[in-house]
Amino acid sequence: MQRGRPPTRRRRYDVTKERNSDLKDAVEVDGVISSSLSNGFYNVEIAGGHTVLARLAGKMSKGHIRVQVMDKVRVQMSVYDLTRGRIVWRFRE
C-alpha cells in the first residue's frame, strides 16, 4: 500500500540538439593523407595545397577502418578552426 504520489522519472537534459547544431556548422572537404603522426593523428593535404591536422572519427576507429598514407579521405572541419579536423570517410580505390 503506497502513500502519497508515485515517484516520477527524472528527465535528462537533451544535448542532441547542441551536438547536431555543431555538425551543421561543419565543412567537409576531400583530401589525401600525406603523413601519419603519433597518437592517431594524420596530416591531410586538401585542395589548394593546405594541410590539415586530422584524427579518425569515433565510428571509423570503432569499426576498425584503417587508413594509410596516400589514401583519399573526407575531412570534416569546424568553421572556427580550419587547421584541424576529423576523418569521417575513406574512399575505396
Residue closest to 78 by CA, chosen among 18, 27, 2: 27
pLDDT for position 17: 56
pLDDT for position 32: 97
Question: What is the pairing mode between strands 72-78 and 51-56?
Answer: unpaired
User: C-alpha grid cell for residue 56?
Assistant: 579518425
Distance CA 78, CA 70 (A): 23
* Cβ proximity of 19 and 60 under 8 Å: no
Residue closest to 23 by CA, chosen among 70, 78, 61, 71: 78
pLDDT for position 25: 78
User: C-alpha grid cell for residue 28?
Assistant: 567537409
pLDDT for position 3: 73
State which residues of the chain have pLDDT below 50.
none
pLDDT for position 7: 67
Distance of alpha carbon 46 from its chain centroid, rounded?
17
CATH dotted code for 27-90? 2.40.50.140
Q: Provide, rounded to the nearest whole percent, the portion of the chain with pLDDT above 70.
A: 78
pLDDT for position 42: 97
pTM to 2 decimal places: 0.73
Domain range annotation of the chain: 27-90
pLDDT for position 93: 78
